[in-house]
Chains A and B, each alone.
Chain A
Amino acid sequence: MPPSRFLLRGCLVAFAALLLAACQSQPNWQLDNVRGHLPDLEFQMTNDLGQPVTAASYRGKIVLLYFGYTHCPDVCPLTLVQLHTVLQKLGKQGADVRILFVTVDPARDTVPVLHQYVTAFDRRIVGLTGSQNAIAQLAKRYRAIYQRETPKTASTDYEVTHSSAVYFFDRDGHARLLATPGVPNDEILHDLKILAEQDN
């Protein structure tokens, strides 16, 4: 082989190694990368067992944060089932993930109802409730909105409009990714795998 070929091959190998290194340092995220754009996870709330918890309670876990309410039979289950399905596919690494389901309807979502609701979907889902103020602060922190709608009839049934994005935090509580409604399961799985491996 002439020396020039050697050189070319060497360059190609070096270039490939560089590409690989670049890929490793900047993963090809499928979801929206929000690193540095949203603050670290921080809250003081009550979990679905009635225990006081803070963001520190979930350090060491990858946290998926979602705002919803139990009188939400369609969209909230759709999201929770999607996350449940992805965690099943994630296998062992799924044990390192916690889904925090923050109620935006604390008046109806008592601790026992919240507990029954979240555990019906997946044991790795934690229901969180708190004072109106604590919930409002957490939602505001992540620019999530929610609003109780006025019922059209005299009944006590009402609905709550709410943001339906899922916020991903790494094991140190840093905001990393945002999944908007309708993203395919594979995209969430792809990114969760990277997140799980990165932080180990």
Chain B
Amino acid sequence: MLVGAAMLACSVAAFATPPAAHVEHAWIRWLPASLPAAGYAVIENNSDAAVRLTGASSPDYGMVTLHYSRLAQGDSTMETVEYLDIPAHGSIKLAPGGYHLMLMHAKHPIKPGDTVKTTLKFANGATLQADFSVLPANASGPED
């Protein structure tokens, strides 16, 4: 019982502090006609504990979800992801052909050169603001 409580306390402590995470190379591939767009970034966790990314929102889009593109036997499909764990002192890469933010139902026209503000949400209730640069449809990445 005591051990259980101690373990619970530990695990709560691990997720209770705001994530010492930060976001780099955040960009959105612009698409015309208010089509759903994908957002990419590197999210680093500098803390001693894993953090769990559970979602995101943006004032510019009606819906933002975590997505994963699965390529199996030459077929590609997208699926919604409930959460993404970022290991202690580790990072995750949201990149084309894998994990990404899916930004849907733009509330106003978005164009290349814009900055889209987002809020990343973590399992412990912490949030993180991240600015995504909107790049042209045919950009390969933020270093273009």
Question: What residues of chain A have their CB less than 8 Å away from a CB belonging to chain B?
Answer: 70-75, 77-78, 80-81, 84-85, 112-113, 116-117, 120-122, 145, 149, 152, 157, 159, 161-165, 180-182
List CB contacts (< 8 Å) of B31-72 with chain A: 31-33, 35-38, 67, 69, 71
Question: What residues of chain B have their CB less than 8 Å away from a CB belonging to chain A?
Answer: 29-33, 35-38, 67, 69, 71, 74-78, 80, 96-97, 100, 102-104, 136-140
From B78, B103, B140, contact of A81 by CB (8 A): B140
Complex Cα spacing A189 to B32, Å? 28
Given A73-B102, A77-B31, A181-B76, residue A85 in contact with residue B140 (CB < 8 A): yes
Is there an interface contact between A161 and B35, defined as CB atoms closer than 8 Å?
A: no
Is there an interface contact between A75 and B78, defined as CB atoms closer than 8 Å?
A: yes
Complex Cα spacing A72 to B71, Å? 14
Q: How far is the CB of A113 from chain B (nearest CB, A)?
A: 5
Within 8 Å CB of A157, what residues of B? 36, 104
Complex Cα spacing A164 to B100, Å? 18
Total A-B Cβ pairs within 8 A: 94
Is there an interface contact between A164 and B78, defined as CB atoms closer than 8 Å?
A: no
Q: How far is the CB of B92 from chain A (nearest CB, A)?
A: 16
Within 8 Å CB of A74, what residues of B? 38, 67, 69, 78, 96-97, 100, 102
From B29, B78, B103, contact of A77 by CB (8 A): B29
Q: How far is the CB of B100 from chain A (nearest CB, A)?
A: 5
Is there an interface contact between B32 and A117, defined as CB atoms closer than 8 Å?
A: yes
8 nearest A-B residue pairs (beta carbon)? A120-B137, A116-B32, A73-B38, A161-B77, A164-B76, A78-B96, A75-B76, A74-B38
Within 8 Å CB of A149, what residues of B? 77
Complex Cα spacing A112 to B103, Å? 21
Within 8 Å CB of A180, what residues of B? 74
From B32, B71, B140, contact of A181 by CB (8 A): B71
